[in-house]
Amino acid sequence: MYRINEIFLSLQGEGFWTGTPMVFVRFSGCNLHCPFCDTDHSAFREMTGEQLLKAVREAGKGCRRICLTGGEPSLQADGNLIQALHEAGYRLHIETNGTRPLPEGLDWITLSPKADVPALKGDGTVVLPEAHEVKLVFDGSLPPETIARWAAFPAAWHFLQPCDTGDPVRNAALLKKTLATIQAAPDSWRLSLQTHKLLGIR
């Protein structure tokens, strides 16, 4: 059984695949507690793999790309689920904090490391050896050496994303600082924005 927070069709709002239609499968539960997390982990329903696949088909309206997210999807997503979704013809993305090994067969891995988040509760040590993209949430407090370390992580793409604090004034200041950080290392980073929030969609 899988604990599922929600399943819905939307556009990927962040990183390399921004603007791409995807079915989001949001797992409930995480091994870390980040101060800016916007997922209600108390809300979930238990689903079998067959029920999950049926819900994906109903929500997806023909979309063949799935994003496994959370929470931390690696706590629940396993080889059986990956195989079943692949056999049903889906391409599988995952958004992970990288603290746990991932099942084989994933088509795209987005690493969003949390080890350096202030006030983090839990061990955010990344164990993944590589990813397709790194999406580093930037709250303005990360020192240059930490930013440089994640820029060197083995991945084809590296995105710096300003943290959404819920305060428009602080968000504007963080965006300005994020842009300055990227411009100071133009060969290392690209900007990622939470465009789904800017568009007012899920």
Neighbouring-strand partners of residue 159: 135, 190
Distance in angstroms (rounded) separating the CA atoms of residues 75 and 19: 27
H or E segment to which residue 134 belongs:
strand 133-138
| Cis status, amide bond into 140, omega within 30 of 0 | no
Structure tokens at 2: 């899988």
Rounded Cα gap, residues 175 and 26, in angstroms: 27
DSSP 62-105: T--EEEEESS-GGGT--HHHHHHHHHTT-EEEEEE-SSS---TT
Q: What residues act catalytically? A: 24, 30, 34, 37-39, 95, 196
